[in-house]
Amino acid sequence: METSLPPAPVLLATADEMLLDDLLRLAAAAEVTPQVEKDLLGLRRHWQTATLVVVGQDLVEPFARTQPVRRPGVIVAGSEAAFSVPRDRSPLAPSTEQRDRSAVQTVDDGTIFRRALTIGAEGVYLLPGDEAALGDRLADTLDGGVRAAATFAFVGGCGGAGATTLAAAVAVTASRRGVRTMLIDGDPLGGGIDLALGSETGSGARWPDLLNAAGRVSAAALRAALPTVDGLAVLSWDRSDVTTLPPEAMRSVLGAAQRSSDLVVVDLPRRADPAAEEAFVRSTATFLVVPRDVRSCAAAARLVRPLREVATDLRVVAREPGLGGLSAVDVAHHLSLPLAAKLRFDRELPALMDQGRFDPRPRGALGRTAGELLDLFGLYGLLAA
């Protein structure tokens, strides 16, 4: 019986031999074996099957006339040598983080970008200036394509606010819902989030094993190396003397986590060090956990200004104190932040955590708040891979 080979993850479509040579070189560097087509017939035949479609600038206009079905994962590649005016005017150009701004990079009067939009392209990469960015896009296909992982950052408004506990509860709750989740402990002085989960004896990599990570980290390799708790991948700290986290390591590891997950939960320290800033700026939302008392609010207020400079979608979770206290609305009003959720006090929780019995049940105070935060962003388990 004749069997067909599975489709290649990358389709390169161009009749420009010089451009094709450059694309094949980048594909080889990314360890990707592409499908190559040099005409419209081949491009149309494989349009729907590849994870990533790279259309050469020479085929964009004739292909657009065929009115192709829109699909994700389409980019246009071309050569800078063909163009003559500054490229920064186009929103389809790769971000400044993806290219060397000191390089002289040019494009035409915008025609290539308008044509790229007609085929639903997500970006235009002009070589050689965008080689690094295009190489990353090609390498992304080894991880199954680029995921748009939601990323939640948690930080305490004061010492003992309960941010670590809530971060762990959100991660556990999401994992139980079937959302592919990774929990990252970004606080070297926090004692280790694996202790909160009762999983400190589990085998697998910890932060000290990854401190030299820089550049691109394989998403699949990272997830395979980490210990898991009922399917939840956890990156924590060991009991060594390491107390600093390089921002380059946070950037690389968090990028890999986002490529291999539907949700990434990061527990961060109150001090604004460079590694924490990397996580804040890359997060979908940041939750400031604040006990509902005057002193805690005063402490949290000192964090709001620096957090606003780096955190995306900053919100407050008001935690009920042991006895009395301010209302959740009062806390949000005092901090001038939107109220994300209320967290009730659970007298039994500290003792259970000390016994390694962390179990945020859906009807319990902690599990209910965790579920509300997930619901807020539509993480019902439908995004799981």
Q: Specify if 42 maps to a domain.
A: yes
How far apart (Å, rounded) are the C-alpha atoms in residues 237 and 247?
16
Residue type, 292: R
Selection from 304, 306, 273, 310 nearest residue 288 by Cα: 304
Domain that includes residue 353, residue range: 150-376
Specify whether the CB–CB gap between 99 and 130 falls below 8 A: yes
The pLDDT value recorded for residue 346 is: 75
Domain final residue, candidates 91, 111, 143: 143
Q: Does position 16 have pLDDT exceeding 70, yes or no?
A: yes
- Is residue 97 domain-shared with residue 167, that is, in the same domain? no
Residue 271 banded pLDDT, cuts 50, 70, 90: confident
Q: Is 317:167 a contact under the CB 8 Å cutoff?
A: no
| Same domain flag for 245 and 339 | yes
Within a domain: residue 294? yes
- In a domain, residue 65? The reply is yes
Question: If you search the block for the tokens 């606003």, which residue do you land on?
Answer: 308
Is 1 a domain residue? no
Sign of the C-alpha dihedral, residues 227, 228, 234, 236?
negative
In the three-class reduction of DSSP (H, G, I as helix; E, B as strand; rest coil), residue 240 is classed as coil
Does one domain contain both 100 and 177? no
204 and 279 share one domain = yes
User: In sequence order, what are the beta bridge partners of 316?
Assistant: 288, 339
Shared domain check, 129 and 82: yes
User: Of 143, 158, 176, which residue sits at a domain end?
Assistant: 143
Task: Give the number of domains in the chain.
Answer: 2
Distance CA 11, CA 76 (A): 12
Query: 117 with 162, same domain?
Result: no
Domain shared by 88 and 139, yes or no: yes
Answer yes or no: are the C-beta atoms of 110 and 90 closer than 8 Å: yes
Same domain, 343 and 358: yes
Instruction: List the CATH number of the domain containing 104.
Output: 3.40.50.2300
* List of E strands, the chain: 10-13, 35-37, 52-56, 74-79, 85-86, 106-107, 124-127, 150-156, 181-185, 228-229, 232-235, 263-267, 285-291, 314-319, 339-343
Q: Which long-range contacts (CB under 8 A, 24 or more apart) does 334-337 make?
A: 334/297, 334/301, 335/288, 335/290, 335/297, 335/300, 335/301, 335/304, 336/304, 337/288, 337/304
Q: Based on the domain organization, do 42 and 133 belong to the same domain?
A: yes
247 in the same domain as 109: no
133/25 same-domain check: yes
Q: Is 383 among the domain residues?
A: no
Domain-located, residue 3? no
Copy the structure tokens of residue 274. 């460079």
Q: Average model confidence (pLDDT) for the chain?
A: 85
Least confident of 186-190, 221-225, 319-323: 319-323
Question: Given a cut of 90, is residue 164 above it in pLDDT?
Answer: yes
- Hey, is 290 helix, strand or coil? strand
Last residue of some domain: 143, 165, 181?
Answer: 143
Assess whether 189 and 320 both reside in one domain. yes
Answer yes or no: is pLDDT of 69 > 90: no
pLDDT of residue 255: 86
Q: Output the CA torsion sign for 261, 267, 272, 275.
A: negative
Domain-embedded: residue 116: yes
Instruction: Give the whole-angstrom CA distance, residue 339 versus residue 107.
Output: 46
Q: Is the pLDDT of residue 299 over 80?
A: yes
Q: Average of pLDDT values for 164-188?
A: 95
Q: What pTM value is reported for the model?
A: 0.69
Tell me the C-alpha distance between 6 and 27, whole Å.
18
Distance CA 124, CA 134 (A): 9
CATH number of residue 327's parent domain: 3.40.50.300
Examine residue 228 and state whether it is found in any structural domain, yes or no: yes
